[in-house]
Amino acid sequence: MKNPIPRIAAIHDLSGLGKVSLTAIIPILSTMGVQVTPLVTAVLSSNTEYDGFEMLDLTKEMKLFLNHWKKENIKFDAIYSGFLGSEQQIDIVRDVIDYYQNDDLLVVVDPVLGDDGKAYKPMTTGLIEQMKVLISKANTITPNLTELCLLLDIPYINTPEIGQIKDWAFQLSQKGPENVVITGVQNDQNPHLTSVIAYTKAINKFWRVSCSYLPASYPGTGDIFTSVLIGSLLQADSLPIAIDRAVQFTSQAIRSTFARDRNIKEGVLIEKVLDSLKSPAIISSYELI
Site residues, ligand PXL (CB under 6 A): 13, 15, 20-21, 44, 47-49, 82-83, 112, 219-220, 222-223
CB of 78 to ligand PXL, least distance (A): 18
**What whole-number distance in Å separates Cα of residue 34 and Cα of residue 29?**
5
Of how many residues is the chain composed?
A: 289
Name the residue nearer to ligand PXL (CB basis): 52 or 163: 52
Rounded to whole angstroms, the Cα distance separating 139 from 150 reads 19
Cβ neighbours for 216, distance < 8 A, ≥ 6 positions apart? 254, 258, 264
- Shortest CB 141 distance to ligand PXL, Å: 15
CA distance 56 to 288: 45
Residue 267 CA to its chain's centroid (Å): 16
Select 224 or 241, whichever has its Cβ closest to ligand PXL. 224
Please state the closest distance from residue 110 (CB atom) to ligand PXL, in A.
8
| Least distance between ligand PXL and beta carbon 32 (Å) | 19
What minimum distance in Å lies between the beta carbon of 283 and ligand PXL?
29
Q: Where are the beta strands (DSSP E) in the chain?
A: 7-17, 35-46, 55-57, 78-81, 106-109, 114-115, 118-119, 140-141, 179-186, 193-200, 205-212, 287-288
**Min. distance of Cβ 83 from ligand PXL in angstroms?**
4
d(CA 120, CA 65): 28
Q: What gap in Å lies between CA 269 and CA 73, rounded to an integer?
A: 37
Nearer to ligand PXL, 173 or 183 (CB): 183
**Closer of 59 and 187 to ligand PXL (Cβ):** 59
Helices 87-100, 59-71: axis angle to 10 degrees equals 10
Going by the DSSP 8-state scheme, the letter that residue 19 receives in this structure is S
**Minimum distance from residue 191 beta carbon to ligand PXL (Å):** 25
